[in-house]
């Protein structure tokens, strides 16, 4: 492991701990430290299973359920959950279980994904230890940070329908539900397209609005959940702290826009009709630039 990583990992862990403990002030049930420990323990368990199976790509299956564990753990340590607390936990549970079960069905009994297999070759004899940090711990940290905005709302919100922030909170939830619609329907349309044995690009339905409706939906989901943080005004948690948690939608959006989408599009370019499809359909946002 090179010197750069030896510096980056402790800094990233320290920043995550700062979020989990509300600025190193709450190491018990009054902050998010317990959900943090549960999420990191969960990804450590996946690491152990991956070494037994010699398949690091199973971490993808665990991604969605990591948020479910984080949400339920937060609810368990919340003294007076509101209707919004339960609504967000239910939403994250629905989204996370669907994602993990979908990936489990798709990848069951399949060999290690080519990306992880290639990394295993590149890492050589140090693959086991490098995978722990670069695959499982990094994903655990990102999983917690992305979920932290939602967990903060679950634990600290003071939502009430007669509160002056109710309209903003409801708007955020509607945005998240819209994102879930794009993700679920987009995935189902693609599943049916593949099941029909189509060898060409899917360019109809939601796929005519954006080349990646599921990724667009994911961005809406976490942006909407962040907006529900309006329910934290007048709550016990500092709004400055919640402002920092804008990292949640920013990190998710950055990963999807800068990493996931380009990787997928390199594969999509091999299909006939790609150039025409790309010219008339925005890459990610339906209102975005075409081409």
Give the contacts of 192 (CB within 8 A, at least 6 positions apart).
none
Q: How distant, in Å, are the alpha carbons of 59, 198, 239 from that of 280?
A: 35, 21, 42
Domain residue extents for the chain: 1-156, 161-291
Residue 227: its pLDDT value, please? 98
What tokens were used for 75? 């609810």
Residue 170: its pLDDT value, please? 97
Q: To the nearest whole percent, how much of the chain has pLDDT over 90?
A: 84
> Would you say how long the chain is, in residues?
291
Which residues does the chain have with pLDDT short of 70?
1-6, 291
Residue 114: its pLDDT value, please? 84
Residue 95: its pLDDT value, please? 97
How many other CB atoms sit within 10 Å of the CB of residue 93?
A: 18
Cα angle for residues 143, 147, 152 (degrees, 5° grid): 145
Per-residue b/e over 142-151, b at no fewer than 16 CB within 10 Å?
Answer: bbbbbbbbbb
Residue 199: its pLDDT value, please? 80
Write down the mean pLDDT value for the chain: 94
Residue 237: its pLDDT value, please? 92
Residue 11: its pLDDT value, please? 85
Residue 2: its pLDDT value, please? 60
Residue 3: its pLDDT value, please? 63
Q: Scanning the structure block, which residue is given the tokens 């990848």? A: 107
Residue 12: its pLDDT value, please? 86
Q: How distant, in Å, are the alpha carbons of 74, 82, 140, 200, 242 from that of 38?
A: 10, 23, 10, 43, 21
Residue 41: its pLDDT value, please? 98
């Amino acid at each position: 492991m090179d010197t750069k990583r030896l510096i980056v990992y402790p800094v990233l862990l320290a920043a995550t701990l700062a979020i989990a403990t509300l600025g190193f002030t709450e190491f018990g049930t009054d902050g998010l430290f317990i959900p943090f420990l549960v999420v990191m323990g969960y990804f450590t368990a996946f690491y152990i299973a991956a070494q037994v199976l010699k398949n690091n790509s199973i971490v993808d299956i665990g991604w969605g359920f990591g948020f479910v564990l984080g949400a339920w753990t937060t609810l368990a340590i919340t003294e007076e959950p509101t209707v919004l607390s339960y609504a967000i936990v239910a939403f994250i549970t629905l989204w996370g279980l669907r994602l993990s079960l979908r990936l489990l069905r798709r990848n069951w009994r399949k060999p290690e994904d080519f990306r992880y297999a290639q990394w295993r070759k590149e890492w050589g004899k140090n693959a086991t230890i490098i995978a722990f940090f670069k695959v499982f711990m990094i994903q655990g940290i990102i999983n917690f940070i992305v979920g932290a905005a939602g967990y903060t709302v679950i634990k600290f919100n003071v939502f009430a329908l007669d509160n002056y922030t109710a309209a903003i909170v409801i708007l955020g939830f509607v945005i998240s539900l819209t994102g879930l619609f794009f993700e679920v329907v987009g995935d189902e349309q693609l599943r049916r397209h593949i099941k029909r044995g189509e060898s060409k690009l899917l360019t109809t339905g939601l796929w005519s609005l954006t080349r990646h409706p599921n990724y667009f939906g994911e961005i809406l989901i976490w942006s909407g959940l962040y907006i529900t943080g309006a329910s934290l005004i007048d709550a016990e948690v500092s709004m400055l702290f919640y402002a920092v948690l804008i990292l949640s939608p920013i990190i998710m959006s950055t990963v999807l826009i800068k990493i996931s989408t380009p990787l997928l599009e390199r594969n999509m370019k091999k299909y006939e009709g790609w150039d025409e499809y790309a010219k008339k359909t925005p890459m990610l946002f339906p209102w975005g630039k075409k081409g």
